[in-house]
Chains A and B, each alone.
Chain A
Amino acid sequence: MKMPLDLMAKLAEYAEKAGSRQAKAREVLLGPLDTDIATTPCEMVYENDRVRLKHYLPQATPKVKTPLFIVYALINRETMLDLQPGRSVVQNLLLHGIDVYLTEWSYPTRKDRFLTIDDHVNGYVHDLVDFLCQRHGLPRINVMGVCMGGTFAVIYAALHPKRVKNLITTVTPTNFDTDQGLLHVWLKQMDVDRLVDALGNIPGDLLNLGFLLLNPARLLVDKYVGFFDQADNKEFVENFLRMEKWIFDSPDVPGETFRQFIKECYQENLLIKSRMKVGERRVNLKKVTMPLLNIYARHDHLVPPAACELLVDRVGSQDAENICLDTGHIGIYVSSRCQQELVPKIAHWLQERDA
C-alpha cells in the first residue's frame, strides 16, 4: 500500500501549497494592479469619421527622416503595439529614432457596415498618407502594415506606388490558398453572404470566439490554469491582465469589408494572383516597386508562413526580403525576445533606405 500513501502525502503537500498560494493570490488580486495599456505619450493629429491618427512623441534623436505610418488591422485594436513600457513596439521604434504614426480604426457602428476595402484603402489610408506627406513636406512616406492592415498596405502600395517610399509587412496574409492554418480551411467553407446579410457588421466577440476555437485546449483551458498557477506573482498577473484587456477589446468589422476580404481573399485568393479589384482598379502586385521587408512568424497559427512568404516573389520590387521569426502571431510584437529582434531589424532596414 505504499503508492496510495505517497499519493496522499503528495496531495496534502499540494493542498498546503495551493492554500498558501491562494492567500497570496488574494492579496495580489485585491490589491492595486497596474494594467494600463497604450501608455506611450501620443497626440491625435487627424480625425475623419471614426478613424484617427496617433502621432507618438519622439523619445530619441531622429535617425530616419521619413516618418513611419503604421496601418493596423481592422481586427482587435492597435493597442497591441504598445502593451506596456518595455514590451512596446511603438516605444522601441521611437527609441531607435523613428517618427511613428499609428492608425486607430476605432469602433465601427451600424452606419459603417457599407464601407468596403476600397473605402478603407483608397479612402482612409490614402487620406492619411496625403495628410502625412503634406505635414512633412515629403512626396512619399514609409508604410508598415500589421496583419490585415498589411494586406491593406500592400493593396495601397500597388495602387499608389508613388506615395510609398518603403513598405514593411508584418504577419501579413497575401496568399490565402493554403491548408497550413485552420482559419484558411474554415473560411473556405463559410457562407459569408448569409452571415453579413444577417449581422451587418461582424461582431468582434464572434471573431474572438472563432480565434479561441482554433486551439481551445490552450486558449480556453491551459492559459487560465497557468494564470491560477501564478496568480500570486504580481508582475505575471499584471502582464496577463494587460493581454486579456487587449484580446477581448475587439471592435466589430464593417460587414462589406469582411464580405469582400473573405470572398476575394480567403475563398478566391485573388490578391496574390494580381486579380483583385479595389475601387474598379486591378491590384497589380508588379506595381509594388518600392523596397519591401516582409516579416512573418514560423509558429503563426492565424497567418502561417505559407500565407506570407510568396509576396516577395510576386511584387515588382527588386529589393524585397523575407524574414521569418521563430515565434507566433502575437509573440512577434509582444514577446521580450522578439522585441529585441523585430524593431532593430526594421530600424536598420529603414535607415539603410532613407537616402
Chain B
Amino acid sequence: MGSGPFTSGFFQGASPWPEMFQTLAPQWWSGYFTLQRLWLEQLAQVPPELQLSQLTPLDRNFFKNWLAAYEQTWQPLWQMPQLGLTRIYQENATRLADKFQVFQTALADFLFSLYQPVEESLAIVQEHLTVQARQEQISDDFQVYYRLWIKTLEERYLTLFTEPDFLQTMTKTMEAMSDFLATRQEVVTATLKNLAIPTHEELDELHQEIYQLKKQLRELKPKAGKKKAAKRSPSSK
C-alpha cells in the first residue's frame, strides 16, 4: 500500500498496521474456532445409527427391493382413477410423478451398479497394500498403485458390463427414462395447448407433412424433367 499524503490522511488516527493486526487477529481466530466448534457439536448430534462408521454396506438389491416396495405401496395410489372435470390433468400429473419415481429408482440402481467396480477395485488395491506392508515391500512409486487400481477397475467394469444382471438394469433404466421423457412431453404438450402455444406434437405433424411432400417432389422431379425434354424434342411435335 502506498504511503503518500492520501493514505496517511485516510488512516489518520488509526493504529499503525502491526498493532491493528494484533488486535484483530485474535478476534478472527476466536470467531473461526467458535464456528468450528459449533459445526463439530452439530455433527456430534447425528444419531449413532446414522453415523458413517455404523452404516452397513448398501445391499446390492436395495434399489430393486425399493422399486418392488414402491410398486406394491405407492404406485397403486398414483394409478387410482381420478374423477371430475380435472380428471385428465390430475391423471397426467400423477402419471408423471409415477414415471419420475420409477426412473429415479432405476437410475439410482444403474449408478449403484456402476459404483460397485470402484469399491471392489479399491478393496483389491487395499488388500495388495496390506500384504506388501506386512512384507515391508511397499513401493515408493505411487504410480504403481494407481496403475494397479486403474487396471483392476477396467477389468471389473468389463466383467460387469457383460453380466445379464447389469444388462437388465441398463435396459430398465433406458426404458424408464424413455417412459418418463415421453410422459413429461405429454404433460408439457397439454399445458402448451391450454396456452395456445404450438406443441412438439403439432410441429412434428407439420414436419412429417413437409417431409412427405419433399419426398414426393423428389420422385416427381425426374418425371417432370423427362416430360419437359419430350415436349422440347421435335419428334413430340
| Residue B229 lies at the interface, judged by CB distance under 8 Å to chain A | no
Q: A191-B174, A200-B204 are contacts. A216–B179 as well, Cβ < 8 Å?
A: no
Contact string against A for B residues 156-199, beta-carbon threshold 8 Å, 1 for contact and 0 otherwise: 01000110000100110011011101100100000000000000
From A7, A14, A111, A198, contact of B207 by CB (8 A): A111
| Residue B71 lies at the interface, judged by CB distance under 8 Å to chain A | no
B92 to chain A minimum Cβ distance, whole angstroms, is 16
| Residue B114 lies at the interface, judged by CB distance under 8 Å to chain A | yes
Contact string against A for B residues 128-139, beta-carbon threshold 8 Å, 1 for contact and 0 otherwise: 000001001010
Within the assembled complex, what's the spacing in Å between the Cα atoms of A288 and B117? Answer: 46
Stretch from B1-9, B51-59, B146-154 that touches the partner: B146-154
Q: Which residues of A2-25 are within 8 A (CB) of B?
A: 3, 6-7, 10, 14
From B171, B179, B204, contact of A110 by CB (8 A): B204
Within the assembled complex, what's the spacing in Å between the Cα atoms of A190 and B200? Answer: 25
- Residues from chain B with a CB closer than 8 A to the CB of A7 are 138, 140
What size tier do the contact residues of chain B reach? 35 or more
From A3, A197, A200, A213, contact of B138 by CB (8 A): A3
- Residues from chain B with a CB closer than 8 A to the CB of A14 are 142
A216 touches B208 (CB 8 A): no
From B133, B141, B171, B185, contact of A189 by CB (8 A): B171
- Residues from chain B with a CB closer than 8 A to the CB of A10 are 140-142
From B153, B162, B211, contact of A221 by CB (8 A): B153
- Residues from chain A with a CB closer than 8 A to the CB of B237 are none
B207 touches A222 (CB 8 A): no
| Residue B210 lies at the interface, judged by CB distance under 8 Å to chain A | yes
A110 touches B210 (CB 8 A): no
Q: Which residues of A164-195 are within 8 A (CB) of B?
A: 182, 185-186, 189-191, 194-195
- Residues from chain B with a CB closer than 8 A to the CB of A198 are 177-179, 181-182, 185
B140 touches A218 (CB 8 A): no
A114 touches B114 (CB 8 A): no
- Residues from chain B with a CB closer than 8 A to the CB of A197 are 178, 182
| Residue B228 lies at the interface, judged by CB distance under 8 Å to chain A | no
| Residue B218 lies at the interface, judged by CB distance under 8 Å to chain A | yes
- Residues from chain A with a CB closer than 8 A to the CB of B175 are 191, 194
- Residues from chain B with a CB closer than 8 A to the CB of A243 are none
B218 touches A123 (CB 8 A): yes
Within the assembled complex, what's the spacing in Å between the Cα atoms of A114 and B209? Answer: 10
| Residue B203 lies at the interface, judged by CB distance under 8 Å to chain A | yes
A221 touches B138 (CB 8 A): no
B200 touches A114 (CB 8 A): no
**Closest partner residue, chain A, to B170 (CB atom):** A186
**Closest partner residue, chain A, to B132 (CB atom):** A3
- Residues from chain B with a CB closer than 8 A to the CB of A216 are 114, 153, 157
- Residues from chain B with a CB closer than 8 A to the CB of A221 are 150, 153
A185 touches B150 (CB 8 A): no
Within the assembled complex, what's the spacing in Å between the Cα atoms of A111 and B208? Answer: 8
Within the assembled complex, what's the spacing in Å between the Cα atoms of A182 and B158? Answer: 9
- Residues from chain A with a CB closer than 8 A to the CB of B150 are 217-218, 221-222
B171 touches A190 (CB 8 A): yes
B207 to chain A minimum Cβ distance, whole angstroms, is 4
A182 touches B161 (CB 8 A): yes
Within the assembled complex, what's the spacing in Å between the Cα atoms of A110 and B198? Answer: 14
B125 to chain A minimum Cβ distance, whole angstroms, is 13
| Residue A45 lies at the interface, judged by CB distance under 8 Å to chain B | no
A130 to chain B minimum Cβ distance, whole angstroms, is 11
A195 touches B204 (CB 8 A): no
| Residue A113 lies at the interface, judged by CB distance under 8 Å to chain B | yes
A115 touches B200 (CB 8 A): no
**Closest partner residue, chain A, to B181 (CB atom):** A198
A38 to chain B minimum Cβ distance, whole angstroms, is 30
Q: Which residues of A70-121 are within 8 A (CB) of B?
A: 110-111, 113-115, 119
| Residue A39 lies at the interface, judged by CB distance under 8 Å to chain B | no
A185 touches B167 (CB 8 A): yes
Within the assembled complex, what's the spacing in Å between the Cα atoms of A199 and B157? Answer: 28
B206 to chain A minimum Cβ distance, whole angstroms, is 8
- Residues from chain A with a CB closer than 8 A to the CB of B218 are 123
From B154, B162, B174, B177, contact of A215 by CB (8 A): B154
Within the assembled complex, what's the spacing in Å between the Cα atoms of A38 and B86? Answer: 56
Within the assembled complex, what's the spacing in Å between the Cα atoms of A195 and B172? Answer: 12
- Residues from chain B with a CB closer than 8 A to the CB of A191 are 171, 174-175, 178
**Could you list 23 examples of A-B contacts with CB < 8 Å?**
A3-B133, A7-B138, A10-B142, A110-B200, A110-B203, A111-B207, A113-B204, A114-B208, A114-B211, A186-B170, A189-B171, A191-B174, A194-B179, A197-B182, A198-B177, A198-B181, A198-B182, A200-B200, A200-B204, A214-B161, A217-B150, A217-B153, A221-B150
User: Which of A's residues lie within 8 Å of B, judged by CB?
Assistant: 3, 6-7, 10, 14, 110-111, 113-115, 119, 123, 182, 185-186, 189-191, 194-195, 197-200, 213-218, 221-222, 225
User: Which of B's residues lie within 8 Å of A, judged by CB?
Assistant: 114, 117, 133, 136, 138, 140-142, 146, 150, 153-154, 157, 161-162, 167, 170-171, 174-175, 177-179, 181-182, 185, 200, 203-204, 207-208, 210-211, 215, 218
The 6 A-B residue pairs whose C-beta atoms are closest, nearest first, are A217-B154, A198-B178, A198-B182, A217-B153, A194-B178, A111-B207
